[in-house]
Structure 1
Amino acid sequence: MQIETQIRPADPRAEKAGYVLAATCDLNGCFRGKRVEATSLDKILKSGIRMPMSSIGVDIWGTDVFANSLTLDQGDLDGICEPTERGPIPLAWTGTPSQFVPMWMRAETGEPFLGDPRRVLAEVFARYRAAGLTPVVATEVEFYLINPIFARATPLSPPSPGHAAAKDTIYSLEELAEVGSFLDDVYEMAAACGVEVDAATSESGPSQYEFNLMHGPDPLRIADNTVFFKQIVRNMARKHGFAATFMAKPYPDQSGSGLHVHFSIVDTEGRNVFDNGGPEGTEIMRQAVAGLIEAMPASTALFAPHQNSFRRLCPDSLAPTTAAWGYENRTAAIRIPGGPSVARRIEHRVAGVDANPYLVIAAILSAALDGIERKAEPPAPTQGNTYASDAKLLPTTWPSALDVFEQSDVARRILPDRLIELFVAGKRQELAVFNRDISDLEYATYLHIV
């Protein structure tokens, strides 16, 4: 369900609110839930709502996935959706003030449902806290603004002649100025939602933009902010007469859109455990890198979860194709940015913006902690063009990524079996639909020739 909202700063418990939307985030990063009258708000906040547990694992079109164990084998039983600690968010919909209540799911018996992506991230966060560590996380969200009247992605205005080479628009102040009122509204709406936003930049594609969301010591809040922010962008684009797309690769000849994740780890004294006072970082940082490198092939299915995702992960694109790392190297999947040592951190560059932020952050943080706990050793850092290196290749197709994810011992070491089962079943159902389709290119190539 896409939440079409116009968010205003208001008392989230305002009596004038006409209705409440209560929803969980499914494995695809889509909200699914119910609309109830505003008079039921207190009941929702106290008791939650009931929804089928299988609703978390539906496919991208919202169709039940019968290959998982929830839908038929367990009788499609209900789970309990409870409000998250975020609480109600004030909304206005077509002039009627309303509220959105973010939810997450547990079993009837009280245990967290580890098919819920937010619950999975919470379990990873709990492991960090048990170890006396706190991950400090930030995300970078890229997207395209497009003309909404076309079925295919179409730029708001024709790109300049030099744009095909993507040399003349990155960090363009002119492109930012062209959509200045849209950017202003995004910042205003985000502030009303409690979503902390930092810088906005123009990226290399036509009408492609990136927002940096503020870092923080609560990965659940950062993932919430990222999911909410995508909805904010969609709805503000609609308000201004265009559309926003979070496809990983909407144009075959232009840059893809990524969801880059930055993180450091602090100890109980608030010290960054990656900081050794110099540019190389600590042994703990390298152990975290080792865990990320080892888990990366198995985790690719989460970072590239759709048919379109793998069009972004191609050579010479600044999107990674190998499990490599390096210092200040944007061709690598793992980049250690420069700057003051106190801010030493890891940038994970594999995920597309079409991925579920809860699952992306959970997979990254869990793999890093696994490397730290095992005192793993990373390969040597790469320098220069990692596409030409001998680093291990990431899966290159959607089916191969799903196979590796399902069969990998590493994936089952860092993530719950329930999550892997539901995710793979849903994606294989989607894959089967794509495999049955006959594309326009196939007809144009074969219909009158072979």
Structure 2
Amino acid sequence: MKNYLRKHPEVRTIRVAAADLNGQMRGKRVPSRFADKVVEDGTRFPLSVLNLDIWGEDIDDSPLVFESGDADGVLKPTERGFMPMPWLEAPTALLPIWMFREDGRPYDGDPRHALRAVVDRYRKQGLTPVVAVELEFFLIDDSGRNLQVPLSPRSGKRRKAAETMSVRALDQFDQFFTDLYDACEAMDIPADTAISEAGLGQFEINLMHGDDALRAADDAWLFKMLVKGLARRHGFAASFMAKPYEDYAGSGLHTHFSVLDSNGTNIFDDGGPRGTEAMLHAVAGCLEAMHDSTLIFAPHLNSYDRMVPGAHAPTGLCWAYENRTAAIRIPSGNPAARRIEHRLAGGDVNPYLMLAAILGAALNGIEDKRLPPDPITGNAYALDLAHVPNTWGDAIDAFEQSKVIPRIFAPEMIRNLLLTKKQERHYMAELSPNEQVEIYLDTV
């Protein structure tokens, strides 16, 4: 890690940052001449900092604040190491960190440790999840009272129409996407295909699959920060909020995953289109946990504006082969790449918690060896299905009362997330719709 700064003497300051429960970067600015101390000894800030609400405020009734004297945690560098921050004007390096207790134990309220715990469960069974994510986001002109598509840097025009898979829409913002791909390469984020989507100024970029789920979550987290920061350098905003425009589809964050055994064999591959019993068990686990874990996949008030029938976001608890109306889709293609696509999450999620919920649920199913109901055919929105919660309050209640969630998340994480979301729900009710959009636009 120290070699990075020696190779980049132009870097005068660093940022050390961890993800809080909402996926916000929390950390410090440090002169680069003191970076060695951070690398060797870590840094410290209160445990409560990873349990702030969306405004960055303390949780009123959290035991992490006054009850415990607002005690410190110890934050150590992740295995990711230093990387550039191309969205800033001055040369700056970011050092991702995660939180431990004073005695060296992982802090269970850290989202990255929640995912690590799930990955450890896989490892103990000789299994390794392989993960890829697809992230949708909007480019937005937020300079006026109403959100709108930015002016094209090429034409100077504002095209107020959906542009599904339009090469022209990509080319309108060519310099932004060129800079974005260059920045991803510099940060070692495996950005692959970009397409335009069905919303106003909406795009999707896929991140390549890999057999390190923690790194996949890191990539998604860092990518969201990069896109938002780089857009501002180009004179507009970028947002992963679930539903910025009432009349257009919202943004999702779809997850593709398979599982390798100790020999590196995909345990979902049966040589044909059906998939193995292990794949069906994983599907069953994902479906069983989906209702109660909706709070992870739709963590904000605005999230539920996206999750309505017929709006390209799944609402029914079902699975299918090659069917994008289902919550769980089994894509077609080479059997060696047989995988599950989990389609419920919005773009506004915390990637660490999202992957922990998905992979933890799948492993529950593999362990329990239960089979899912029959796959659906046709339009899932037209079927009589059990549904995920359709309000924020119902999702909070389902998460709190769940019997399956404690199999995936530690008690401290469950408590902290519930306290956070209950406080946010209370204060969001006091804001106008425009004020709600304003807070979500830049944060999630």
TM-score of the alignment, normalized to the shorter chain, above 0.5 = yes
Matching residue of 2:21:
27
Amino acid corresponding to residue 290 of structure 1 in structure 2? A
Of 34, 37, 43, which residue of structure 1 is paired with 2:37? 43
Alpha-carbon distance in 1 for matches of 2:44, 2:4: 26
The Cα of 1:151 is off from its aligned counterpart by 4.4
Of 264, 268, 288, which residue of structure 2 is paired with 1:270? 264
Of 158, 164, 174, which residue of structure 2 is paired with 1:170? 164
Of 218, 225, 238, which residue of structure 2 is paired with 1:224? 218
Matching residue of 2:319:
325
CA offsets 1:113-132 (integer angstroms, 9 cap, x no match): 11100011011111111110
Alpha-carbon distance in 1 for matches of 2:237, 2:158: 17
TM-score between both structures, scaled by the size of structure 2: 0.93
Q: Secondary structure at the match of 1:409?
A: coil
Quick check: 2:134–2:205 contact (8 Å CA) kept in 1? yes
The Cα of 1:148 is off from its aligned counterpart by 3.2
Q: Secondary structure at the match of 1:96?
A: coil
Q: Secondary structure at the match of 2:27?
A: strand
Alpha-carbon distance in 1 for matches of 2:11, 2:4: 10
Matching residue of 1:5:
none
CA offsets 1:217-254 (integer angstroms, 9 cap, x no match): 00110110111111111122112211101110000000
The Cα of 1:352 is off from its aligned counterpart by 0.4
CA offsets 1:278-308 (integer angstroms, 9 cap, x no match): 1110000000000000000111001000010
Identity across the alignment (%) = 48
The Cα of 1:17 is off from its aligned counterpart by 1.8
Matching residue of 1:346:
340
Amino acid corresponding to residue 328 of structure 1 in structure 2? E
The Cα of 1:160 is off from its aligned counterpart by 5.6
Matching residue of 2:366:
372
Alpha-carbon distance in 1 for matches of 2:229, 2:294: 29
C-alpha root-mean-square deviation of aligned residues, in Å?
A: 1.7
Matched, 1:84 2:89: no
Q: Structure 2 unaligned runs (5+)?
A: 152-156, 436-444
TM-score between both structures, scaled by the size of structure 1: 0.92
Matching residue of 1:427:
421
Matched, 1:142 2:136: yes
Equivalences for residues 25-424 of structure 1 within 5 A: 25-91=19-85, 95-157=89-151, 163=161, 166=162, 169-424=163-418
Alpha-carbon distance in 2 for matches of 1:356, 1:85: 19
Amino acid corresponding to residue 177 of structure 2 in structure 1? L
Matching residue of 1:445:
none
Quick check: 1:68–1:421 contact (8 Å CA) kept in 2? no
The Cα of 1:96 is off from its aligned counterpart by 2.8
Alpha-carbon distance in 1 for matches of 2:434, 2:81: 47
The Cα of 1:93 is off from its aligned counterpart by 7.0
Q: Structure 1 unaligned runs (5+)?
A: 1-9, 442-450
Alpha-carbon distance in 2 for matches of 1:438, 1:243: 21
Distance 1:155 1:73, change over 3 A: same
Alpha-carbon distance in 2 for matches of 1:365, 1:92: 31
The Cα of 1:159 is off from its aligned counterpart by 6.9
The Cα of 1:153 is off from its aligned counterpart by 2.3
Alpha-carbon distance in 2 for matches of 1:54, 1:418: 12
Quick check: 1:159–1:206 contact (8 Å CA) kept in 2? no
Distance 1:53 1:93, change over 3 A: same
Distance 1:188 1:107, change over 3 A: same
Quick check: 1:23–1:101 contact (8 Å CA) kept in 2? yes
Alpha-carbon distance in 2 for matches of 1:349, 1:94: 33
The Cα of 1:428 is off from its aligned counterpart by 0.6
The Cα of 1:68 is off from its aligned counterpart by 2.3
Quick check: 2:87–2:229 contact (8 Å CA) kept in 1? no
Quick check: 2:129–2:212 contact (8 Å CA) kept in 1? yes
Quick check: 1:12–1:90 contact (8 Å CA) kept in 2? no
- Number of corresponding residues: 427
Quick check: 1:327–1:336 contact (8 Å CA) kept in 2? yes
